A = this chain, B = another copy of it.
């Protein structure tokens, strides 16, 4: 006998969550399509070398890597961005640019499993490849906003920054060579607080007190009022990069404010750095206001050297990724998840084997009216059937037995009150269902 168990860090998704996840993904996809983003698929398994190249030590360690039957070094994808880079280079002549794609699929990371972190999880990525237009960056914000809004989430904040600005600042302070460490540390300010950031900048990066003050002062500027871009005017004089970075944000906000997006849902935040080395421009992070400690549910940014590992022709890109599993975890914590264990609206009970034909015919007729209908397949005792109805979350069940066929009626029974209503025909039944359900 084999042991029925999943691997550590892996899990099954049960109907209640899977139904919600599917309906969420449907809504998100509708938003992607509304902007003309197109789906693509890439394999789960790739040459290991394609996925990591030289790769960071961390990624190498987390990679599910092995030799296949043909002795090739292969690996399961750990994100959707590297496969995208490979895809656009390999299929360049079959695509039209700018190329906007979305992809919803699972990625694998053999990291230490911990509460809420899984070794296989779903990412929804959307990227705009082959344009340096700042309006592509703006559209990504529209997509993030549109997706969360389509999911019925209202209280969220898209935090926006520009790598050029932090690059410009470190150039100005003559500490550009230390930028990787600095970004990594200031990225943690929400988590560890200002004092710890100061301490790490001093002890680890060996910055001067002045340099630290400048950085802290800068990343503390908040976009709380309309004069934000007045405050930042001065900084444009620091250098060209800083000027460009701020002006790009100005251009984006110029358009954004004319659109029907709640201004509470997006703000500039100079402390957002995004650890990943490959971002070169705008970066995004999105937190739910009621539970910011859960971290970002949608992050991304501009990477102008996406394809440089695969091709001499660089393709610029900008995109973001919705961590749907984390988003579901946050909604569960906030008790915003409501759901049923069934995709059907009603259940038809099966109480008399003489009327099987009537039952299946009725089910077919209801489905034709867009009423999802399940039929209990066995003529078992009613108790078992009622138990099934309850466990599935059905509030109403339909009953047809000898009496009903004789009297030419259909009974709709309220599972909560026990009340039974009689319908004289299909039309009346449909009216009742649409009224009650």
Contacts and interface: CB of A to CB of B under 8 A. Distances in A.
Given A372-B35, A392-B96, A101 B259 contact: no
Interface in A92-108: 94-98, 100-101, 106, 108
Contact of A12 (B64, B91, B132): B91
A127 to B, nearest CB: 13
Interface in A1-48: 1-8, 10-15, 18-19, 21-22, 26, 29, 32-47
How many copies of the shown chain assemble into the complex? 2
B100 A374 contact: yes
B68 A64 contact: yes
Given A19-B38, A39-B19, A98 B377 contact: yes
A14 B357 CA distance: 45
A74 interface: yes
B22 A39 contact: yes
A307 B391 CA distance: 22
Contacts of A26: 26
Given A7-B72, A258-B361, A310-B4, A131 B40 contact: no
A5 to B, nearest CB: 6
A139 B343 contact: no
Interface stretch (A82-90, A296-304, A419-427): A82-90
Contacts of A38: 15, 18-19, 341-343
Nearest to A392: B96
B8 A357 contact: no
A36 to B, nearest CB: 3
Interface range on chain A (Cβ under 8 Å from partner)? 35 or more
A232 interface: no
A310 B64 CA distance: 27
A130 B8 CA distance: 28
A128 B376 CA distance: 11
Interface string A137-178: 011001000000000000000000000000000000000000
Interface string A43-86: 11111011001000000010010111110101010000000001
A388 interface: yes
Interface in A264-315: 309-312
A147 to B, nearest CB: 13
A50 B4 contact: yes
A206 interface: no
A367 interface: yes
Interface string A369-403: 00011111110000000011001100000000000
B44 A120 contact: yes
Contacts of A132: 378
Contacts of A364: 142, 259-260
9 contacts: A2-B53, A4-B86, A5-B47, A6-B42, A34-B373, A35-B372, A36-B373, A61-B69, A128-B377
Given A15-B101, A37-B343, A258-B360, 14 more contacts: A1-B309, A2-B50, A3-B49, A4-B89, A10-B46, A13-B42, A35-B367, A38-B341, A44-B108, A45-B108, A61-B69, A64-B69, A96-B388, A131-B377
Interface of A: 1-8, 10-15, 18-19, 21-22, 26, 29, 32-47, 49-50, 53, 61, 64, 66-70, 72, 74, 76, 86-87, 89-91, 94-98, 100-101, 106, 108, 110, 120, 128, 131-133, 135-136, 138-139, 142, 254-255, 258-260, 309-312, 341-344, 347, 356-357, 360-361, 364, 367-368, 372-378, 387-388, 391-392
